[in-house]
Structure 1
Amino acid sequence: MPLPHLALLLLSLLAPLSATANGSIYGYVGDDGIERFSNVPDDPRYRLLLRDRLAPATAGLRFPRGVFALPFEQRPFHQEIHAASRSSGVDAALLHAVISVESGYRERVVSPKGATGLMQLMPATARRYGLNRADDPAGNIRAGAHYLRDLLAMFDNNVELALAAYNAGENAVLRHGRRIPPYGETQRYVPLVLAHYDRIKARPRPR
């Protein structure tokens, strides 16, 4: 099977990764014809098949530059985020943290699974919250904020579980006994959003 087509197979092979593992997936076909996959490319024959979507936010946390180095009130779409915070009751700093990880403030980004916009909303979620154009920044933020508000209510204001549900779906959290599901991305996603949230909150706010 040619390597460019292996990415389709990976969707069924992605086993949970540890919280410290590289989320990118690499693969190659050996001389024996066997397909090999790993998140640790320790052989020069490995080629990138599935990029780690959390990598930009991880790098932005470790080495802040560009938008990640700005105080949150100077970041793009702050007015829209502030309005969504007022209407939903969700902390604006938390919305900034989610957007930092989900899209890096790129309003037109679309994930391989079809999630769109700043808050990376799946089509069904966008429709549930009355969003007709997922690429509308203000509407996307507002719908994502209200979704996050409902997840916080569902999980008794437990921010970790609400974020896990935002990433993996509320049913996944419920199926695993109201715990963070053992999915590699989700187990990396939750602490990454919380780390961005803590950093944003730690910055002095203007008087």
Structure 2
Amino acid sequence: MPTGLLDALVWTESRYNPLAVSTAGAAGLGQLMPGTARALGITNRYDPGTNILGAARYLRQMLDRFGLVHLAVAAYNAGPGAVERAGGIPINGETPGYVRDVMRSWHP
């Protein structure tokens, strides 16, 4: 995992609020969706320690799958299928700005 990347992602996702909940249903520091959390073995998305472990595992999976940080970050946000279908960062209402924000937070 590139140094500081998970920190930048968590800041962008929740501003370090372990009780954050999105309108889409993502929750906790890493804003894990219920299905993603289940697949990662995370039972309490609001527990900071387990949420961070889940976020780190999922981001690592996306890094291994896509090989490029910006695509892994896009997949964390939009899902790997969306990145594959788009052949890159999906052009939707959220993901391009999300990737930009994570990258700026990681390398200000």
Structure 1 length-normalised TM = 0.51
- Aligned match of 2:90 in 181, 184, 192? 181
Quick check: which one's strand share is greater?
A: 1
Taking the aligned partners of 1:188 and 1:111, their CA distance within structure 2 comes to 16
What is the identity percentage for the equivalent residue pairs of Structure 1 and Structure 2? 47
- Aligned match of 2:7 in 96, 120, 124? 96
The aligned counterpart of 1:165 is 75
Unpaired runs of 5+ residues, structure 2, are none
Confirm whether residue 193 of structure 1 aligns to residue 95 of structure 2. Answer: no
Structure 2 length-normalised TM = 0.96
Residue 109 (structure 1) shift: 0.8
Name the structure, 1 or 2, with higher relative contact order (CA <8 Å, separation 6+): 2
Residue 191 (structure 1) shift: 1.0
- Amino acid corresponding to residue 144 of structure 1 in structure 2: A
Residue 92 (structure 1) shift: 4.5
Give the alignment of 1:8-87 within 5 angstroms: none
Taking the aligned partners of 1:99 and 1:91, their CA distance within structure 2 comes to 14
Runs of 4+ with deviation above 6 angstroms: none
- Amino acid corresponding to residue 171 of structure 1 in structure 2: G
- Amino acid corresponding to residue 86 of structure 2 in structure 1: H
Q: How many residues matched?
A: 108
Unpaired runs of 5+ residues, structure 1, are 1-89, 200-207
Deviation track 1:35-73 (CA, whole Å, cap 9, x = no partner) reads xxxxxxxxxxxxxxxxxxxxxxxxxxxxxxxxxxxxxxx
Quick check: which one's helix share is greater?
A: 2
